[in-house]
Amino acid sequence: MPQLSLHSPLGPLTLSEEDGKIVALDWGRGRDQEETPLLLRARAMLDRYFDGEPECFDLPLAPFGTPWRQRVWEALRRVPYGTTVTYQDLARQVGGSPRAIGGAMAANPIPILIPCHRVLGKTGLGGYSGTGGLDDKRALLSLEGVELG
């Protein structure tokens, strides 16, 4: 499986590709590095994003998950740069409970590109599965210009 790493304000990140689609974005540097056209394009988009340029990440993604989680992640991809939704908002949109939405966010294999950092709790940040936890979530939201009270 081709992988390509990049430097980011959150530390090293590694993109993985399978069958012409991004299947994972992991914290840390991958052991094997292979520059494919898709991974180079994704890395360039992430570099621009981390430089503060709005990105829509129109990349072919293939996250592994249940059909319901796939619907949640697809809905999340439609949340625009610089905006947020609540777990409850997503639950109303795709069905399920806010807690189930939280489970789908925690299982997201392609964070940032599937922007789970844009999902907030009703009264707070909620959680975040990045290595830096809520600090990473705050950094990503701040990068997008989201002001947290």
Here the tokens at position 66 are: 């249940």
Here the tokens at position 94 are: 């795709």
Find where tokens 């639950």 sit. Answer: 91
Find where tokens 């499986």 sit. Answer: 1
Residues with catalytic roles: 116
